[in-house]
Amino acid sequence: MSFGGVSALSGVSFDVREAEMLAVIGPNGAGKTSILNCINGFYRPQKGELVFEGQNIYHLPPHRIARLGIGRTFQNIELFTGLSVLDNLMAARHLHLKRGALAGAIYFGPARREEIRHREVVEDIIDLLEMEPYRKKTVGLLPYGVRKRVELGRALALEPKLLLLDEPMAGMNLEEKEDMARFIIDIHELKGIPIVLVEHDMEVVMDIAERLIVLDFGKKIAEGSPEEIRQNKLVIRAYLGEETPESESHD
C-alpha cells in the first residue's frame, strides 16, 4: 500500500487465528492503522490479497466487508453525537434488518418482533459494557472514555466474526484504560471473537495479547508471543533506536 512515493505497507503477511487476540504494534507511522483500513476496505492495496473465511475481499467496499462480519472501531471516535447511546447501537443493527421500509413504517407484527429482537441484542451489549447509566443520554455530552466504550459497543452490535480495534485506549486515563482492557478481555473470553488490536500502550498489549505482529516503516519485522517480542533485538531497535558512532564520540 503506497501513497504517492511513500510506502505505507510492503510485503506484510499474517493470519488471524480462530478466537485469537492478536496485537499489531510499532512506532508512530509504522503502518498499523493502514493495516486495519486495508482489511475493512477503507484503503485498497495496490498489490496482494485479503482473504476472509476463504473469500478474497480485496475488491469489496467497506459496507460489503462489514456485512461479511468484520467490525471496526476507530482511532478517532466516529459516532452519531446527536443520538443517544441506545440509538447509536441500534444503528449498527441495520445490517441485520430483514423487513423492508414499508413494514418498518407500519411497525406491527413481524416488524415489531424484529425490533424487539434487535433491542435485546443491544441491551445485552449495554449490560456487558456497563453502560446502563448512559443508555438514553446523548453521546456528544458523554465523557471521552464512555464514548470510546459506546464505539466498542456499536462494533459489537454488528455481531462480528472478526473485531478490529484501532487504539481503543488512546487518550484515556489509567482507570479508563483498566476498564477498557477488562471489557476487551470479557468480549474475547465470553464471545470468542478473534480480535486484531492496534494499541500504543505496550504494558496493556503485553498483558492481554496472545500473539504480536511488529511493524516498522510499513514492514513486518517480528511476530511471536509477548515474551519473544520483549527479547527481540529488531523490536528493541525500532522502539529505542541505536546509538551511532557519532553520538558515542560526543560523549
Provide the whole-model pTM. Answer: 0.85
pLDDT of residue 112: 66
pLDDT of residue 78: 84
Identify which of 210, 176, 184 has the alpha carbon closest to the alpha carbon of residue 73.
Answer: 184
Checking 229-237 for CB contacts under 8 A at 24+ apart, the result is 229/25, 230/206
| Domain ranges within the chain, ordered by starting residue | 7-83+143-242
- Give the span between the Cα atoms of 200 and 24, in whole angstroms: 9
For the chain (251 residues), the mean pLDDT of every run of 10, in chain order, is 90 94 92 94 92 93 93 89 93 71 51 76 94 95 95 94 94 92 94 93 90 94 94 86 47 44
Residue 224, helix vs strand vs coil: strand
User: What is the architecture of the domain spanning 7-83+143-242?
Assistant: 3-Layer(aba) Sandwich (3.40)
Cell numbers that stand for 228 in this block: 519473544
pLDDT of residue 42: 92
Q: Tally Cβ neighbours within 10 Å of residue 117.
A: 11
Give Dmax over CA atoms of the chain in angstroms.
81
